[in-house]
Amino acid sequence: MRVVRLASEIDFAGWRAAARALRAEGVEPQAVVWTVERELFDLDTLAPPCGKPANFTVPAAFVELAEQVILHRAPDRLALLYRILWRLEREPRLIDNPADPDMARARDMAKAVSRSAHKMKAFVRFRLVEGAATETYAAWFEPAHRVTEATAPFFARRFTAMDWTILTPDACVAWDRERLMVSEGADPADAPAEDAQEELWRTYYASIFNPARLNPRQMRQEMPKRYWRNLPEARLIPELIETAQERATAMVASTPRQPSDRVLKAALRHSRDAAYGTGAPTTLEEIQAGVSVCRRCDLWRDATQGVPGEGASPAPLMFVGEQPGDQEDLAGTPFVGPAGQMFNKALAEAGVPRDRTFVTNAVKHFKHEPRGKRRIHKTPDRGEVTACRWWLDAERRLVRPRVIVMLGATAALGVTGKPTPIAANRGQPLQLADQAQGLVTYHPSFLLRVPDEATRARAYAELVDDLRQAGSLAGLVT
């Protein structure tokens, strides 16, 4: 009986060298015991006898498969791989046989390892380490298989600009913005406590949760319960599931606001007979009716309805976003989707009462492209923004805001008529043609797309500061 001792559970180089030597000696699979110890395996004891070369080739697909399988937690994975290697000498096409039990089991293991790596990329949540000399983040994660070191380069690429550590029971990986470091596994007690960013993450998760598309079985498949204790949003899941039916029913029951028949008929006549440079709307109701029948660009063709602005009138403060999203298009109301909920949260933190402001968009119809069953947002082009500016100017004349906040580059183009970079202009009041003051800042949807938690937290704090500044200029925040 031959005993092979590997340096670690994932010592692929050691297994490969030992397996080559064993096969060259002609040692059958049932005569080998594979084990793992802290001492390095001595290759000399498995060197082939003199005159019998150890050089042979195997399919590249087998090497790739073995590199995955060795990360599995099954105790028989090493013996399985050697058995397949042994059989390849006599069955060179074994790797292509989907019905072979050994190959089927190896492929199942490789798939499980791949899923485990995917879950790690999706469910690692970094927390700020309190008291660290530099801004450092740490996360605790318990992967289903030994994928920590194999997955670490992904996090180094994704979070290049921050210092972080991922703690797991198998191994710990750390990044100092220059190199990856690997150390022994850790204990859950070493994980950092909850930080302030987790409330922001829960707000984001609640914002994107769609009760009408709830499928608990699929949710458990994509987010297994074994990971919930490491996810800040997990505490929301039971309540979100429990109230999903009620929320979905409310969504279906809600109907868009409708203008009166008189106003709607006038808007239809105007749309058919009048030039858009004449007959400017004199009320917000006329704007609402006009938007619903607007044909100034082609966006109306694929949208459910036009979405005009709403809020106080007159109002000292106006917010201009980009365009309606999927939920706004269905509801006929601006800023009610995920970005709207993030916007409301930031407004509340800034101390700005939304009911004393007016909220609208630079473009009044939802521009999108179908992707499966979903409608994916597309940024309006300059022509579409210019065409819809007639409605935005009408809203500005009626609402008469002292301050206009432009949420994103498209909103800035709609208000000013020219490109206005956000990073170079945010926080700086701009004098507009109607004597209102303008401020540019991030659109809340930008925060929902930022994958880097540290960057997202900084951008959110800057958004709150900008909203607070706008409220102060408008006299709504003291």
pLDDT for the residue 44: 42
Phi and psi, residue 439, nearest 5°: -135, 140
Q: How many CA atoms lie within 13 A of 412 on its CB side?
A: 21
Sign of CA dihedral 277, 283, 284, 288: negative
pLDDT for 40 equals: 39
Give pLDDT, residue 255: 53
> Could you tell me the two tokens for 151?
């997955």
- pLDDT at residue 204, as a whole number: 64
User: 3-state DSSP call for residue 226?
Assistant: helix
β-pair partners for 319: 359, 405
Q: Which bin fits 408, alpha (ψ -120 to 50), beta or left (φ > 0)?
A: left
In whole angstroms, give the CA distance from residue 126 to residue 110. 27
52-56 contacts, C-beta under 8 A, 24 or more apart: 52/24, 52/25, 53/24, 54/20, 54/21, 54/24, 56/20, 56/23, 56/24, 56/89
**Residue 255, SS3 per DSSP:** coil
What φ, ψ does residue 111 adopt, rounded to 5°? -65, -40
DSSP result, 273-330? HS-TTSS--SSHHHHHHHHHT--SSGGGGTSSS----EE-SS-SEEEEES---HHHHH
Residues 6 or more apart in contact with residue 107 via CB below 8 angstroms: 65
| pLDDT recorded at residue 51 | 38
DSSP designation for 48? P
Write down the residue that tokens 């999927």 correspond to: 326
Give the span between the Cα atoms of 39 and 247, in whole angstroms: 59
Report how far residue 301's alpha carbon sits from residue 306's, in angstroms, rounded to the nearest whole number.
10
**By C-alpha distance, which of 295, 326, 299, 321 is closest to 310?**
321
φ, ψ at 457 (rounded to 5°) = -65, -40
Contacts of 16 (CB under 8 A, 6+ apart): 63, 66
Residues of the chain scoring pLDDT < 50: 39-53, 272-277
- pLDDT number for residue 175: 94
